[in-house]
Amino acid sequence: MSMIYQTESKAQGWRAMAKFEDGREALLLLGRSSTQVRQGYIESFSDLLDEEEREQIISISLQRWHGAPDAGNWEHQTTLKVPVMVA
């Protein structure tokens, strides 16, 4: 009997990481393309972080996975605009 493993045809190779004033980081969004992450990170920013957390974000990094799926690292590609939430 053989096992069949379901894997995605394309890896989630891009992410948006928010950096707090104190140096902590939070994953905002993981996606298949830079376009997908750019289009979705603002919604994730407002959905995942509360008002106090949003005020402490100093930067958002768009990062790309570099290397094999099980042996690589995230590389900074560009800095995304920190959204300003209007009450």
pLDDT at 8 (0 to 100): 47
**Under 8 Å between Cβ of 26 and 41:** no
Q: pLDDT digits over 18-60, tens only?
A: 999 999 999 999 999 999 999 999 999 999 999 999 999 999 9
Q: Which of 7, 26, 8 is nearest to 16 (CA)?
A: 26
pLDDT reading at 10 higher than 80: no
Average pLDDT value for the chain: 89
pLDDT at 38 (0 to 100): 97
Angle value at C-alpha 17, between 47 and 20, nearest 5 degrees: 85
Single pTM value for the model: 0.83
